[in-house]
A and B are shown apart, each in its own frame.
Chain A
């Protein structure tokens, strides 16, 4: 890759980090943290983005970052105390900056209108005129006036007389006359005469003082600006006269001398004497605290490599299980040492597996941070005051899970602000604080990740939900539903509480889509709500997608795994509970509700459909869309964690099968795709369970 393109890539990666730091810092400031390190970090983030953007000529980004930075600089210097409104502006500016970074990265032409609006607000905040002036000054920076001077067509040869007398400070800042002369020499022909008349005798010689001055004559084709530029760094630290040769300044007669010899002499002596004079401050410098911040070293690794490793460890786990089983079955003597070695191997294998999975684990923090932006946007659009509280941002989840959570979580957060929270006026009338709170929390609980989205709004309006469900034909008009059953109606496909679809929540997706995406991740979603106090949505997710908890069942000597997340319970399977429905359809009565009974063996073509389903075990499952069915299998063998192997990549896609796994005895077992298995065939006649109480 072209090195500039590579650096550009680094720049945008770094921008992401800076944007995160920016948002974190701003949120901390909003929470009342005003220490200088927080403010400085915020300033640095914007400043860094501006610096890099300048290098890549991303002018829109530079100019917006500059206005933002100017305002932050005022905060940093204490000239501006950010009130709540100003903090909101900063946060919006941070969002806009993030957009501008993405647009710059993708080379998209950004619509500048929103940025101009924020820029104006900034100017109003920091007192208009001054900022505009600074803008102009900065805009000029892109053009390097001195460089263009170099590029000007060569003029006639000029001759300059230069009188140069360094002051003590020039040396203290490590400037070096010789280097300056060398650069002057590059411009043309240079003659230099050193004036040593001020050089004292050695007994009064101050090694760090300045005694020499020079008379220089430069013949060059370059304009005077080029000559002046060379003295740019030493301006103020020397007496300098640069004059065209015609207006020759009357210089005192100079005594010629070898400059380099003198400089060498000064340099050789200076440190030795300086060592004595500067001994005291040096000791200070050494004892200065050298605090080392604990920075965790990290490396970047290709995701492919990690996944290959995870795959290999999966194989290892299977192999270890097979080995254990074979050894224990085949050896005539139960050798204690062999057994304990095998146990040790199993423990190590598990540990390796967990460590490898941990590589893919990522904190949910960035995901939560994205949500704070969503909250701001929806709050702005709905004119509500909302505060987002996040907890457990350090909780780690598999990378893919984190990525796939973004959409459902966005939708839930939108809902919470748009539908959950009341307007500030309503809240005040209800005696609640006008500012609503949305809480987003993550935690690990018994091997799963629990994510809660809650609000302190009005709670679910159950009468309205029920009415809507009846109107949509989702439940019979005379259905008697418990509170929790009503709440769960929200997850039914085609349900939307907002009578008029608002442009915030109504993007054509309902909670059913949210539920489906959570279930696709092997997760579950539940809801609880109290009128007037708010609602809580709880997501329970697996830590990883590489393994799965399932129940191992047999059907006609074939082994299958049913994902635990789909299973509600195992059901007592009594002939009296089974009812015929049509020729080959059966329903099972589970606590006054009839659910379709699906013969797994027949469905997958393992055996012919039986006319009688009286033997076996029924497992009640719930599909992604909330409908329940019972799966009929011969036997339940075990509940265990299995390593997921894709059937699609290794063989081909099979309807009703989600993936495969290899069991300890080396047999391949299919992991059932319960949704597909119970879906199509029963679709026509079973939108939901039929409540028996009403039917009879």
Chain B
């Protein structure tokens, strides 16, 4: 079964990089540009894993994670956050919001795939 991954990021560059790394690793990739868009795509595409940025317009990563965790149908979906800081405060806040794990940008494709594998059922 092909694992579908939803990436939520407002940066086109980052979306392209994620898509390239994940498609190369054999995943199916669907993408959204911010938290609200992410919720729409989540419902339409039923991904297995979600990767989301934190700083985004309209709805940021924290809000997005909280919204997903409140939805009975999706609360058990693994969510990885993309952060540029290794700073614990941000990580902590993402985890408190319900993030499953994190990926530090700039990411190395192998590490990204390893992080996805670690949470993908």
Complex alpha-carbon distance, A602 and B121, angstroms? 88
B77 touches A174 (CB 8 A): yes
Q: Say whether A175 contacts B84, CB under 8 Å.
A: no
- Give every chain B residue within 8 A of A420 (Cβ-Cβ): none
Given the interface pairs A173-B100, A233-B118, the reply to whether A51 lies near B12 with Cβ below 8 Å is no
B58 contact set on A, CB distance < 8 A:
291, 293
Taking CB atoms and an 8 Å cut-off, the chain B residues in 24-57 that contact chain A are: 36, 39, 55-57
Interface residues of A in 172-230 (CB under 8 A from B): 172-176, 178-180, 182-183, 230
Task: Provide the residues of chain B in CB contact with A142, threshold 8 Å.
Answer: 106
| Contacts A14-B11, A137-B87, A172-B98 given; does A179 touch B16 at CB 8 Å | no
- Is A429 interfacial (CB 8 A cutoff)? no
Q: Across the two chains, which residue of chain A brings its CB closest to B16?
A: A7
Q: How far is the CA of A10 from the CA of B10 in the complex (A)?
A: 13
Contact of A278 among B72, B77, B110 (CB under 8 A): B72
Q: Given A43-B55, A233-B100: A10 and B72 within 8 A (CB)?
A: no
Evaluate whether A233 and B57 lie within 8 angstroms (CB atoms) in the complex, with A10-B16, A174-B100, A281-B70 already known.
no
Find the A residue at minimum CB distance from B71.
Answer: A285
A293 to B104, CA, bound (A): 29
Q: Is the CB of B36 within 8 A of A290?
A: yes
Determine the residue in chain A with the shortest Cβ distance to B84.
Answer: A51
**Among the listed stretches A79-87, A268-276, A495-503, A512-520, which one makes contact with chain B, having 4 or more residues with CB under 8 Å of it?**
A268-276
Q: Which of A11, A43, A57, A172 contacts B13 (CB 8 A)?
A: A11
Count of B interface residues, CB-CB < 8 Å: 47
Most chain B C-beta atoms within 10 Å of own C-beta, residue among A3, A6, A7, A173: A173
Contacts of A11 in B (CB 8 A): 13
Residues on A with beta carbons closer than 8 Å to the beta carbon of B77: 174
As a 0/1 sequence over residues 50 to 67 of chain A, the CB contacts with chain B under 8 angstroms (1 = contact) are: 111011010000000000
- B71 CB → nearest A CB, Å: 5
* CA A615 to CA B36, docked complex, whole Å: 76
Q: For the complex, is B22 an interface residue (Cβ under 8 Å from A)? A: no
**Is there a chain B Cβ closer than 8 Å to A284's Cβ?**
yes
Query: Which A residues are CB-close (under 8 A) to B108?
Result: 144, 147
Q: Report B25 CB to chain A, min CB distance, Å.
A: 14
Q: Report whether B13 and A7 are in contact in the complex, using a CB–CB cutoff of 8 Å.
A: yes
* Contact B12 A10, beta carbon cutoff 8 Å: yes
| Chain B CB within 8 A of A288 CB | yes
- Cβ-closest chain A residue relative to B11: A48
Q: Which residues of A contact B17 (CB under 8 A)?
A: 7, 55
Nearest residue, chain A, Cβ from B37: A292
**Across the interface, do A44 and B106 meet the contact criterion of CB distance under 8 Å?**
no
On whether the beta carbons of A44 and B56 are closer than 8 Å, the reply is yes
Are B76 and A270 closer than 8 Å at their CB atoms? yes
Q: Does A132 belong to the interface (CB within 8 Å)? A: no
CB distance from B15 to the nearest CB of A (A): 9
> Which residues from chain B contact A3 at a C-beta distance below 8 Å?
20
Is B13 within 8 A of A175, CB to CB? no
Q: Answer yes or no: A559 CB below 8 A from chain B CBs.
A: no
Chain B residues 62 to 121 lying within 8 A of chain A, measured CB to CB, are 67, 69-72, 75-79, 84-87, 95, 98-102, 104-108, 110-111, 114, 117-121
Picked from B71, B84, B98, B107, the residue with its CB within 8 Å of the CB of A173 is B98
A271 touches B72 (CB 8 A): yes
* B101 proximity list for chain A (CB < 8 A): 175, 232-233
Cross-chain contact B119 with A50 (CB below 8 angstroms): no
Given A173-B98, A183-B118, verify A271-B76 contact (CB < 8 Å): yes
Q: Which of these, A6, A179, A281, contacts B118 with CB under 8 Å?
A: A179
Interface assignment of A282: CB less than 8 Å from any CB of chain B: yes
| B-chain residues with CB within 8 Å of residue A4 when the two chains form the complex | 20
Cα distance, A178 to B119, chains bound together (Å): 9
A52, B100: Cβ atoms under 8 Å? no
26 contacts between A and B (CB under 8 A): A7-B13, A14-B13, A40-B57, A41-B57, A47-B55, A47-B84, A48-B13, A51-B106, A52-B14, A54-B84, A141-B84, A172-B98, A173-B95, A174-B75, A174-B78, A175-B78, A175-B119, A176-B119, A179-B118, A183-B118, A233-B119, A275-B72, A278-B72, A278-B75, A282-B70, A285-B67
| With A54-B105, A236-B95 already in contact, 4 other A-B pairs whose C-beta atoms are closer than 8 Å | A14-B11, A48-B14, A179-B118, A179-B120
